[in-house]
Amino acid sequence: MMAEALEAYIFYEIAALLVLAAAAGFVGLLLRQPLIVSFIAVGIIAGPSVLDIVRSDDQIDLLAELGIAILLFLVGLKLDFQLVRTLGPVALMTGLGQVAFTTVFGFLLGLALGLDTVTSIYVAIALTFSSTIIIVKLLSDKREIDSLHGRIALGFLIVQDIVVVVAMIVLSAVGIGASGDSALTDVLVVLGYGFAMLGLVAVFIRYVANPLTDRLSRAPELLVSFAIGWAALLAAAGHYLGFGKELGGLLAGVSFASTAYREAIAARLASLRDFLLLFFFIALGSALDLSILGASVGAAIVLSLFVLIGNPLIVLAIMGAMGYRKRIGFLAGLTVAQISEFSLIFMAMGVAIGHVSDQALGLVTLVGLITIAASTYMITYSHQIYDRLEPLLGVFERGKPTRDKAETAVGENQHDVIVFGLGRYGIGIARELSNAGRRVLGVDFSPVAVRHARGQGLDVVFGDATDPEFLAHLPLKDVQWVVSAVPEHDTGVTHDDPRRSLIRAMKDLGFAGRIAVSAHHETTAHRLREAKADLVLMPYADAAAQAATLIQSDAPLAHEGIPDPAGQREFAT
């Protein structure tokens, strides 16, 4: 009876937390705030300072740790070193310059505020990390993720992620060393395990990742399940070997980063990541004492102003010195005007090791709440803010800035048409458009179709046309037509028409081009027109009409010297 009552209470507690999270998230949505702010607020409300309903600490901590492993897996999945190489010096200079500036001046500011040396170091490092999740989400919502300042921001965020990895490795090693008598030996052992794990990941990337994901992609649910299991396995191995769950989860993501399916995996895991991180922020918020937060308000405001003003200015100054226009530098600089969820994870690791107190964690959490809330509005209204401050920003621009113009001309991946579904019909459309000089991007969820289309010389990505998270990351800026040649399947109670889903998702994303979809029956075509499709293609009816036209015409036949225009006979075989 006791066990049953305990299980029932845990269920009631989780249910109450989920309801609170949904309500707080709705309020945050109205205030245009990221979910991080709402979730931390839920933890504070549910914690001992207010409602005191959080009692199942072990269960919530378990979900929180799994959420961190998934988060770091997705960060590793996005560690695109090619992007850093493409953007060249600007990503490295702005990333490392901002980290160095924030660390040095943050440390001095911490000492000036009365913090001890170790706490000042921790706080300074925590202030250097910017939230990749928030920045990507806000830039995607504004359709600026593919703009020059958006790509530069992604470049120096990757540099920051690399710094996160180094900081966590150092912190894990220091923690192991501090917990034993033979500190140097322990650190060397942990480093040895770390290099062994890196070697294992390198072998996995070289020989296993691509053939394995090719097999798993035939069952998309299995691909996602394996990714979660792999992240948990390497996180557990990292914890067992002493260098932390965080680094293990990140290496799991890196091991999949070179595969063609990373975008599809990331899109499928995004919702799970957000759900599990809810419990990390609830655990964090419930552990905060409001009296401690109240005592830290003054220091938090000073540090928040430093992040909100100092970080954008240093990025603006570095980019201006490198020859970028002040507008590009300003828009890119605003993206670093907040601290990250990694800042809180980093401080929590310091508390667990015993280097810093709960009060320091509360201080950084308060800085996070202030900077995330403020920077959301700063990024959302970045162009309006620039227009007001533009006369004051001339000092950050060279006399003849040229770097941004050159990179804009050659750096963006542009397409005129995106074709979903690369079967016989879809690849025929894509090939004809490509031959006509249109820049075509193909999308399919079948690895066989993706490989075949690449063999035809087409630009192709692996992804799901019904996944809004995947669609939000497509380069839609210059796209004029989106074409769905996805095969028609019967729909039922649990399955929506993928073509209607695609139309809705494109409208929600603010896509300004035109949408064409294929249908085999007139009733289906009528429903798609009602869903606001600009053009409904009917392959059988259109082919029949074309065949009748050819039969009735006096045009020479193929065997009389006129080649098959689309190569359909050869392709069909």
User: Tell me: the pLDDT tens digits for 133-167?
Assistant: 677 767 766 767 667 777 788 777 777 777 776 77
User: Tell me: the pLDDT tens digits for 11-63?
Assistant: 888 888 889 888 988 888 888 777 777 887 887 788 777 787 877 777 888 88
Locate tokens 């966590």: which residue? 168
Residue 198, helix vs strand vs coil: helix
Q: Strands 459-462 and 481-484, how do they pair?
A: unpaired
Most confident of 176-180, 431-435, 466-470, 488-492: 431-435
Q: Could you state, in order of their start, the residue ranges of all structural domains in the chain?
A: 2-396, 417-572
The CB density around residue 271, as the number of other CB atoms within 10 Å, is 10
pLDDT at position 306 over 90: yes
Strand partners, 483: 419, 516
Please name the residue ranges forming H helices in 206-325: 209-216, 220-241, 245-256, 262-286, 290-295, 297-305, 311-321
User: Tell me: the pLDDT tens digits for 224-271?
Assistant: 889 888 988 888 888 787 666 777 887 888 888 878 777 778 878 878
- For 460-514, give the DSSP string: EEE--TT-HHHHTTS--TT--EEEE-PPP----SS---HHHHHHHHHHHTT--SE
Residue 569, helix vs strand vs coil: helix
Identity (one letter) of the amino acid at 420? F
Q: b/e map of 333-357 (b: 16 or more CB within 10 Å)?
A: bbbbbbbbbbbbbbbbbbbeeebbe
User: Tell me: the pLDDT tens digits for 408-435?
Assistant: 433 445 788 999 988 888 889 998 898 8
- Whole-model pTM? 0.62
3-state secondary structure string across 355-420 = CCCHHHHHHHHHHHHHHHHHHHHHHHCHHHHHHHHHHHCHHHCCCCCCHHHHHHHHHCCCCCEEEE
The pLDDT > 90 percentage for the chain reads 6
Packed helices 209-216 and 220-241: angle between N→C axes, nearest 10 degrees: 140
pLDDT at position 538 over 80: yes
Q: Per the structure block, which two tokens stand in for 341?
A: 């969820």
CB 428 within 8 A of CB 449: no
Q: Per the structure block, which two tokens stand in for 339?
A: 């601290």
Average pLDDT over residues 106-134: 88
User: Tell me: the pLDDT tens digits for 63-94?
Assistant: 888 887 887 788 777 765 555 555 567 777 88
Q: How many CA atoms lie within 13 A of 404 on its CB side?
A: 23
Confidence of residue 305 (pLDDT cuts 50, 70, 90): very high
pLDDT at 408: 41
pLDDT at position 571 over 50: no
Confidence of residue 407 (pLDDT cuts 50, 70, 90): very low
CATH (residue range 2-396): 1.20.1530.20
Gap between the Cα atoms of 572 and 525, Å rounded:
25
As a whole number, the mean pLDDT across the chain is 78
pLDDT at 554: 64
pLDDT at 493: 36
CB 46 within 8 A of CB 286: yes
Packed helices 245-256 and 57-77: angle between N→C axes, nearest 10 degrees: 40
Could you tell me how many residues make up the chain?
Answer: 573
The third-level CATH classification (topology) of the domain covering 417-572 is: Rossmann fold (3.40.50)
